[in-house]
């Protein structure tokens, strides 16, 4: 079976649209792009389109590589103060000369719609409500949409990045799964993958996972995006694996869910601000 992230995200976006239309003003996201990157431009365009489709304004603030870190930080501080803005994110990757962590941690945690500030990762670690990183949040949402049980399942995550693997491990623990995180230094990867009821692959290597490495009737979430000869592939050999497991396709699986969770987080900030206005 295929887990259709595109269809699921369309349904979630429809629900968000119905909510947003009743708001007294339009929520707004600002995406910060530093330097030039062709792939980033595609992601920015897709996020903008998705935001507009549910009634959220979207703007990109661009900095050339000649910009100083202080200029970027001062702009983020200005956006933090702007009450018309509900979501601020920095498009990755950024040039090495900038201190990524310093820039990210300048974002007001309540507007940190990518969930990457230390405040939000700390909240996730402590099981408190905060902004959750979009890809991990989208994966849990997709599993719930398909009524896939998570509690007590053997979950194996391949990849330990701060963007995907680490926050996702926290979310699965919160859902009472037994979680194993594998990475580049894991020996005998197949031993772990073959025992996974739910396998998440977030590495960035085309077809790292083959049919012989997965458990029959398991659920596989393919996060990888690999561009080869102008075609996009996942980290899992979808064509062969789909015969024995339930799997997300690439494209059309995790990607659309990630963008939708960005919109969800923005609407969450908007609603929290409205509540504060009522209490004032």
Q: Which residues contact 158 (CB under 8 A, 6 or more apart)?
A: 165, 182, 183, 186, 189, 193, 199, 200, 201, 202, 203, 208, 209, 235
Q: Which residues contact 72 (CB under 8 A, 6 or more apart)?
A: 32, 34, 63, 98, 103
Active site residue 91: yes
Residues of span 150-179 touching ligand NAD by CB under 6 A: 158-161, 163-165
Active site residue 99: no
Residues of span 187-246 touching ligand NAD by CB under 6 A: 189, 202-205, 223-226
Q: How far is the CB of 138 from ligand NAD (least distance, A)?
A: 7
Among 155, 182, 213, 221, binds ligand NAD (CB under 6 A): 182
Active site residue 114: yes
Q: Counting contacts by CB under 6 A, is residue 184 touching ligand NAD?
A: yes
Q: How far is the CB of 163 from ligand NAD (least distance, A)?
A: 4
Among 40, 110, 135, 269, binds ligand NAD (CB under 6 A): 135
Write the CA distances from 80 to 33, 83, 101, 105, integer angstroms.
Answer: 17, 8, 17, 12
Q: Which is nearer to ligand NAD, 85 or 257 (CB)?
A: 257
Q: Counting contacts by CB under 6 A, is residue 143 touching ligand NAD?
A: no
Q: Which is nearer to ligand NAD, 79 or 172 (CB)?
A: 172
Which SS3 state, helix, strand or coil, does residue 243 take?
coil
The C-alpha atoms of residue 221 and residue 254 are separated, in whole angstroms, by: 8
Segment holding 160, helix H or strand E: none
- 13, 28, 47, 123: which one is catalytic? 47
Which amino acids are annotated catalytic?
Answer: 47, 91, 114
């Amino acid at each position: 079976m295929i887990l259709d992230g595109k269809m699921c995200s369309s349904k979630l976006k429809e629900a968000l649209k119905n909510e947003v239309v009743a708001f007294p003003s339009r929520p707004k996201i600002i995406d910060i792009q530093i330097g030039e990157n062709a792939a980033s431009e595609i992601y920015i365009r897709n996020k903008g389109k998705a935001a507009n489709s549910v009634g959220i304004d979207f703007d990109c603030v661009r900095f050339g590589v000649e910009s100083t870190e202080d200029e970027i930080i001062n702009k983020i501080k200005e956006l933090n103060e702007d009450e018309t803005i509900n979501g601020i994110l920095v498009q990755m990757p950024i040039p090495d000369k900038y201190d990524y962590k310093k820039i990210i941690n300048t974002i007001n945690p309540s507007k940190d719609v990518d969930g990457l500030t230390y405040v939000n990762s700390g909240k996730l670690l402590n099981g408190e409500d905060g902004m959750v990183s979009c890809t991990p949040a989208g994966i849990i949402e997709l599993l719930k949409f398909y009524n896939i049980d998570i509690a007590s399942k053997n979950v194996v995550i391949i990849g330990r990045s701060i963007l995907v693997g680490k926050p996702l491990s926290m979310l699965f623990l919160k859902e009472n799964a037994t979680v194993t995180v594998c990475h580049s230094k894991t020996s005998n990867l197949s031993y772990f993958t073959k025992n996974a009821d739910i396998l998440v692959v977030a590495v960035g290597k085309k077809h790292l996972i083959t049919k012989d490495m997965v458990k029959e009737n398991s659920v596989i979430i393919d996060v990888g995006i690999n561009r080869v000869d102008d075609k996009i592939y996942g980290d899992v050999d979808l064509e062969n694996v789909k015969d024995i497991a339930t799997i997300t396709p690439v494209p059309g699986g995790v990607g659309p869910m990630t963008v939708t969770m960005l919109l969800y987080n923005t609407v969450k900030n908007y609603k929290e601000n409205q509540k504060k206005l009522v209490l004032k």
